[in-house]
Amino acid sequence: MEASPIITLTDLEDLAAERLDPHWREYFAGGAGSERTLRENVAAFSRYRLRQRVLCGIESVSTATTVLGQELAFPLLVAPTAYMRRAHEDGEEGMARAAATVGAGMCLSTFATTSAAAITAVAPNLPRFLQVYVYRDRGVTREIIDMAIDAGFSGLFLTVDLPVVGSRDRERRIAWEFPEDDLPMVVFAKERGLDAHGTVPVDPALDWNYLEQLCESVTVPIVVKGVLEVEDAVLAAEHGAAGVVVSNHGGRQLDAVSPTIEALGAIAEAVGDRVEVLFDGGIRRGTDIALALALGARAVLAGRAPLWGLAAGGEAGARTVLELLRDELATALHLMGCASVGDVGPQNVTRIGAA
C-alpha cells in the first residue's frame, strides 16, 4: 500500500487504474452498450435520502447478520468476479483472506483463477458460496457444483441474466480475448470437451424447470442471481429458490435496464417474506449499503469496489476497502438511530420527489 492515507474508495480506485494492465482495466470497469445502466447503478443512489434520528440512546451498533444461515460480521459478500489473479497475483485467495479477516462473505465465480478447494484451504471459516453458470453439458456443471459442495461451500448463486453475453463495446474496442491459462474451472470444462468462454458454452435456453430440478438435487440453498422484475422474483420463490439477488450484472448485460437500487424495493416487498433478498450494483460507500438495507435487502454484494482494492494493493488493499465499507456502515447506522442492521427498514429512507 502507498504511504499516503487511504480515506475513500476513490483513493484506491485511482491507484488501481494506474497499476492494472490497460486491457484488463477496461474489462473490469466496462459495461454493456453505451454504459447507461453502468452509470445509473451508481447515480441512482443520489435519488434516495437516509433519515437521521437523534437522541436515540445508542452506545454502540452491531453490523452483524446472517445470509443463508451463515453468520457475517457485516452484511456484505464479495461478488463473483472473474479472473481476480489478472488484477493482482494474490487473486481470489487473497480476496478470501481479506473477506474472512473483516467478517464478510464471498461468492466465487465459475470463471475464477483458483479452485473452490483452494479457497477453503486459505479461509476455512469464510462464509463461501459458488456462483454457477450452467453449461450446455449439465453433467459438467454438476461436477463443478459437487466440487464446491465437497469443499464446504454453503450455497449456490445461479446466474440467470447471461443466456448470451451482452454487447460490451469496450471489450470489442480492445479486442479482448478470454484467457485460458489460469482458470481451473475452465480448464476442467475443456478437459471434458467444452470450449472456453470465448465461445460461451453457457446454456442459452435455461429455464425455470432447471432451477426446480437443481433445488431438489442439492443439499445447499440456491439463490437466483440477476433478477430485476417482480414477476421473476415471484417465480424464483415458487420454484424453490432460497433467495434472489436484485442485479443487472453490474451493468454488463442489457443496457438501459433499471438501476438495481430502483428495482429493489418492489421486489423486497413482493417476496421478502418468502426468500432472502440480496442486492448488488453500485455499492461505493457504507451509506449505499444502508440505503439497500432500508429498501429491503438482507445484505449486499460488491464486486468492483473490493477488486479495485485488490488491484491497488493485493490482499491488504481488498481488506482496506472492506474495512472502509464496514466502518462507514457502522457510522451510518448510529446516525440513523439504528442499533443493528435488523433495525433498518423503510422508515429510514425517503425518495426525492416521492409523495
| DSSP 3-state percent helix, strand, coil across the chain (nearest 5) | 45, 15, 40
Local structure of 160: helix, strand or coil: coil
**How far, in Å, CA of 355 to CA of 351, rounded?**
9
**How far, in Å, CA of 94 to CA of 104, rounded?**
13
**How far, in Å, CA of 311 to CA of 248, rounded?**
23
Cβ atoms of 309 and 257 closer than 8 Å: no
Q: Which amino acid is at 309?
A: G
Q: CB under 8 Å to 10, separation ≥6 — which residues?
A: none
**How far, in Å, CA of 135 to CA of 241, rounded?**
20
Burial label, 54 (beta-carbon count in 10 A; 0-12, 13-18, 19+): exposed
DSSP 342: G
Local structure of 105: helix, strand or coil: strand
List phi, psi (to 5°) of 324: -60, -50
Positions annotated as catalytic residues are 249
* β-sheet bridge partners, residue 299: 278
**How far, in Å, CA of 251 to CA of 244, rounded?**
17
Pairing of strands 48-50, 299-302: unpaired
DSSP 337: T
Local structure of 130: helix, strand or coil: strand
Cβ atoms of 224 and 243 closer than 8 Å: yes
